[in-house]
Structure 1
């Protein structure tokens, strides 16, 4: 296994991150001092929700959608974030300002956990503090070749499960399901894992969403067994607005192996082409549909941040 991320998460390390200030519950702390308690719900149990955010032209792209998902997830698990959206937005931009991050190449990890527990136990009634809110802004941008480098995916045995076991729609801190999938794919020499749903249909990748192109149509999963991805939803919207037929439906690996093109979507890298799935070569260079969707997605980001008002 390599000692660094591959695929859509490849980035060039930036020495400025050594001195970045991180917001821990409203206090801006140097990176080495940014810590949470060993009794924190996130560290102890993976009890919390999070968002990955990209900054474009000094604005956080699609922030309203990300906050919608964050607050809905917190509500679903009966967790009180403790501050409203306006206050959290101000805190996010204050962290950017403190680090002079007013342009491009910035990624934010926003994490909210249930707070500090009095003892190592899963019952939320032992929580003795407000929610823990951590904002990690970093100088971090996808490697330039991500837009054209053909990804290699491997279908793993780890499935996306039923919602009555652990709902895959929740963007929770509990990511062991995806981590074990990632490990299997990495051991197989692939960039990322392709994961099936309990019925054997294609669901998603371990950290991105998956699409195929067949006969001029764009297909993605039904969405029943994957996170409601922000980038996934926006790509579906811009494609339909452009007159491209898009279908959220069940499809199998046979459909994938016979596809004309394939790609993944995610907040960090946007739209990225897939070249190989399970040793089957779908393409050796970025296809026309992927290139078109990349352009449409970039245009939507530009429009979103152009209308965004900083607090």
Structure 2
């Protein structure tokens, strides 16, 4: 869907004068459709509205109205389960290539893409590998890492480094050298039956990350949001990443070093089960 009009995938197009294309002036959100329900929809909408406020973008629609647009796309495609929905909103069409928001001559452009996606169980059992990038997660005073914006070039650069090193994803440090997050997912380690993740000051504002912390609190699992370094990571018992689409995915190797037993660990499996249970509760 582009601005309330449904298109076949091959016909979906946006102007080259769109703010997102010209200068990366846009924000986005992702939803997971599970058994006919959008999991944690309120949390995702709140994050999107926070992003809009951060970049000074005003929407001519409410959260309810945007959700109705999402459901229209889902229903038009007869979708029920294992669906990833991406909502992208840019400031609009510019009258000339420029950063200046005052040169925008339209309202926001809203693009909604719904795709059938299912995380591979084989990949989950196998786990993924990470490489620590030299590209750092930035400070909130120049591009807050919590902002889901279209300006993702630094994360792409980090991922390119990881791919060239033979890894699946990039692990990124913060400006102080502590472990922050990955290029597209949030990062956790397990040490001595406790979960560690970053303080949240320099990492993505992940909904799944928030829900894993929530699950730990609910089930009496120690979860520490703290500064830690690669020294702690390399000797971790287990590690995993989180995201809307994949849930919890184990990490078996980082920078060529095997983490723990180099497999989908029991603690991660347990936590993944508790997270999936939370989704079932949310969607019933």
Give TM-score, length-normalised by structure 2. Answer: 0.98
SS across alignment from 1:265: strand
SS across alignment from 1:207: coil
Distance 1:212 1:284 in 2: 13
Alignment of 1:292 with 2:270, yes or no, is yes
Task: Select which of 53, 57, 75 maps to 1:97.
Answer: 75
Query: Residue in 1 aligned with 2:242?
Result: 265
Superposed, 1:51-90 pairs within 5 Å as: 51-90=29-68
CA drift of 1:284 comes to 2.3
Superposed, 1:202-241 pairs within 5 Å as: 202-241=179-218
Query: Residue in 2 aligned with 1:35?
Result: 13
Structure 1 runs, 4 residues or longer, greater than 6 Å off: none
Distance 2:253 2:272 in 1: 19
Distance 2:126 2:283 in 1: 27
Distance 1:81 1:122 in 2: 19
Contact 1:81 1:112 survives alignment (8 Å): no
Alignment of 1:199 with 2:179, yes or no, is no
Query: Residue in 1 aligned with 2:97?
Result: 120
Distance 2:143 2:263 in 1: 37
Q: Deviations over 1:219-272 (max 9, x none)?
A: 000111111100000001101111110011000000001100000000010001
5+ long unaligned stretches in structure 1: 1-22, 307-311
Alignment of 1:158 with 2:155, yes or no, is no
SS across alignment from 2:33: strand
Distance 1:299 1:127 in 2: 45
SS across alignment from 2:158: helix
Matched residues, number: 283
Q: Deviations over 1:34-82 (max 9, x none)?
A: 1111000111111111012111001111111000000110011110122
SS across alignment from 1:148: helix
Give TM-score, length-normalised by structure 1. Answer: 0.90
